[in-house]
Structure 1
Amino acid sequence: MGEGTTQALVLAGHGSHLNPRSDRPVFDHADAVRERSAFDEVRTAFWKEEPSLSEVLRTVESDAAYVVPLFVSEGYFTEQVLPRELRLTDDRHLDVGFPVRYAPPVGTHDAMTDVVVRRVERVTGDPDVGDGVGVAVVGHGTERNENSARATQRHVRRIRERDRFEEVQALFMDEPPYVDDLYDEFDSESLVVVPLFVADGYHTTEDIPEDLGLVAEGEGGDADYDVPATVDGREVWYAGAVGTEPLVADVAVERAADLGAEVDDERLEG
């Protein structure tokens, strides 16, 4: 982009008519980017709620827009639904006269590996956590689309390469190895479970706590549990959705910069 060109960042989320918390990380990360003045405009848009993906680019006043999906993996939504709703073709919106660059999802960026590790540090309260600790990264997964599990498996491989934790493995909701296999898959006495999800919704507040034995069946979402909890003699730290980690805002900005957005690093400090 040329000197003096104004730039907009659009953070695109799934949204939900049923879960009021599903949009919270998108709004929080948008606010974080605004505070740093990294872009002239920061917009939010959703598939399932307002502001809608189909209308958001009409509200942009800048000379160029960078759309970053706040999703954890490539697949049906990022490859078909979002481009269709945004009416994108050849890096341009069908009804506006400025360039629109569409990024891969934040969850596939290399920097998300650091976000997962930061999540482990945050939930344990230990910046040096590692020795004797097993880390389970939980993805949704589906046997219908191999891309759903690919991001989770890739971050697991990258964390293993750091040789920091005793064990690091991927677990899934909808394909093996499953979340409730945690205690069979790991030998470590201390376990940290990090869901690779954008928001704390039904899966992260109900399904996974139940599968881990943190709460009784049917009590997820309403029941409190200890962090760490003790299950079958194991110490279990449950971190909640990785997408709520503040560092995700930085990853979104990096996604836009990878596509050519001019972002002054000094404006991102703090």
Structure 2
Amino acid sequence: MGTIRSMERLRRAALVLVGHGSVRNAQSSAPTRRLAEILHRRELFAEVTACFWKESPPLREALTQVNAAEVFVVPNFAGAGYFTHEVIPREMGLSGPLTRVADAKGGVRCIHYTPPVGAHPRLARLVLRRTTAVAERHALDPATLCLLLVGHGSRHGSSETAEALAADVRRTGGLGAVRTAYLEQEPRVKAWPSFVAEQDVLVLPLLMAEGLHGSEDLPPLFGVSAADLAAITDVPAVGARFRDRRVWYCQGIGRDPEVIDIILDQVRQAAERT
């Protein structure tokens, strides 16, 4: 698809960003809403909106919030798993990467469903960029550093994206170790000292919207305080001591500016398939 034609096509289309949301923490939806607002201001699409599993507007009503005949649905999730494979398609009535449905005027709407943001191949580059920034700022030797990628996981087993990402980062070489841990499946992040042998550990939460997990659940497991978290907006990571380890804790990947470009690339790839 030519660049000009593709831009004109997107200006007639709608973009729907899907977030998880939370009934316990209203800030959980803030990153997805912020991304939707940024993309709305860029005027690349006719319409931009966000919907959520646990907040309003709900998934089931998302397609009624936009009027375009062509809609791109992008899950703002850190990886593929139960929610992207099962919940979102079920709630939104999607049958696959492309769903055609009748509209109120007797025409046909084309609903494109893309892979989640966190499953994009560029994520490995994003992770390495952030790892390099921390190592350079704190004069760390990457060859002795352990990168610990912390995913959410679930009882349904949702580790495929995190494990694939870890493998991609390992293949680049240069780091002492690349390991994974999860909030809700094995290996549990709370037990990280038992399976991470390295003394210097860089912790990168694979969270698009940190919510309670990023602000309350994870930091104490690494000796990071609320005051430390407040400083994380100005530095690539905050340092802490946990038992005999030196830890550098990063903000979640959802705050990275490159996420906007990843969303747009997911849309472009979906458009090129039709």
TM-score (normalised: structure 2): 0.81
Higher helix share: 2
Distance in 1, matches of 2:272 and 2:243, equals 50
Query: Residues 8 and 60 of structure 1 are in contact (CA less than 8 Å); yes or no, is this contact kept in structure 2?
Result: yes
Q: Does 1:66 align with 2:72?
A: yes
State which of 26, 49, 59 in structure 1 corresponds to 2:32: 26
Structure 2 unpaired stretches of 5+: 230-237
Structure 2 letter corresponding to 1:103: T
Distance in 2, matches of 1:205 and 1:73, equals 20
The aligned length equals: 253
How far residue 121 of structure 1 moved from its aligned partner, in angstroms, is 4.5
Q: Secondary structure at the match of 1:199?
A: coil
How far residue 53 of structure 1 moved from its aligned partner, in angstroms, is 2.2
How far residue 132 of structure 1 moved from its aligned partner, in angstroms, is 2.8
Judged with a 3 Å threshold, the aligned counterparts in structure 2 of structure 1 residues 224 and 22 are, in CA distance, closer, same or farther, namely: same
Q: Does 1:138 align with 2:146?
A: no
Partner of 2:100: 92
Distance in 1, matches of 2:29 and 2:136, equals 26
Distance in 1, matches of 2:115 and 2:138, equals 30
Partner of 1:224: 227
**Relative to structure 2, which stretch is displaced further, 5-14 or 95-104?**
95-104
- CA deviation map 1:84-109 (0-9, x unaligned): 22223461246563211111211222
Partner of 2:261: 250
Distance in 2, matches of 1:21 and 1:99, equals 32
User: Stretches of 4+ moved more than 6 A in 1?
Assistant: none
How far residue 230 of structure 1 moved from its aligned partner, in angstroms, is 1.4
- CA deviation map 1:196-247 (0-9, x unaligned): 12211222222222322435xxxxxxx4348201122322111132222221
Partner of 2:181: 171
- CA deviation map 1:6-32 (0-9, x unaligned): 122111111122211111111222233
Q: Secondary structure at the match of 1:21?
A: helix
Distance in 2, matches of 1:27 and 1:123, equals 28
Identity %: 33
Superposition RMSD on alpha carbons, in Å?
2.7
Query: Residues 15 and 46 of structure 1 are in contact (CA less than 8 Å); yes or no, is this contact kept in structure 2?
Result: yes
Distance in 2, matches of 1:135 and 1:93, equals 45
Partner of 1:78: 84
Query: Residues 72 and 112 of structure 2 are in contact (CA less than 8 Å); yes or no, is this contact kept in structure 1?
Result: yes
Judged with a 3 Å threshold, the aligned counterparts in structure 2 of structure 1 residues 51 and 193 are, in CA distance, closer, same or farther, namely: same
Query: Residues 163 and 180 of structure 2 are in contact (CA less than 8 Å); yes or no, is this contact kept in structure 1?
Result: yes
TM-score (normalised: structure 1): 0.82
Judged with a 3 Å threshold, the aligned counterparts in structure 2 of structure 1 residues 128 and 250 are, in CA distance, closer, same or farther, namely: farther
Distance in 1, matches of 2:45 and 2:272, equals 9
Judged with a 3 Å threshold, the aligned counterparts in structure 2 of structure 1 residues 237 and 118 are, in CA distance, closer, same or farther, namely: same
How far residue 44 of structure 1 moved from its aligned partner, in angstroms, is 1.1
Partner of 2:167: 157
Distance in 2, matches of 1:83 and 1:127, equals 44
Q: Larger RCO: Structure 1 or Structure 2 (Cα < 8 Å, ≥ 6 residues apart)?
A: 1
Partner of 1:184: 194
Q: Secondary structure at the match of 2:178?
A: strand
Judged with a 3 Å threshold, the aligned counterparts in structure 2 of structure 1 residues 14 and 184 are, in CA distance, closer, same or farther, namely: same
Query: Residues 137 and 194 of structure 1 are in contact (CA less than 8 Å); yes or no, is this contact kept in structure 2?
Result: yes
Q: Secondary structure at the match of 2:61?
A: helix
Query: Residues 222 and 241 of structure 2 are in contact (CA less than 8 Å); yes or no, is this contact kept in structure 1?
Result: no
Q: Secondary structure at the match of 1:151?
A: helix
Structure 2 letter corresponding to 1:136: L
Q: Secondary structure at the match of 2:27?
A: coil
Structure 2 letter corresponding to 1:257: R
Judged with a 3 Å threshold, the aligned counterparts in structure 2 of structure 1 residues 152 and 85 are, in CA distance, closer, same or farther, namely: same
Distance in 1, matches of 2:71 and 2:128, equals 31
Q: Secondary structure at the match of 2:219?
A: helix
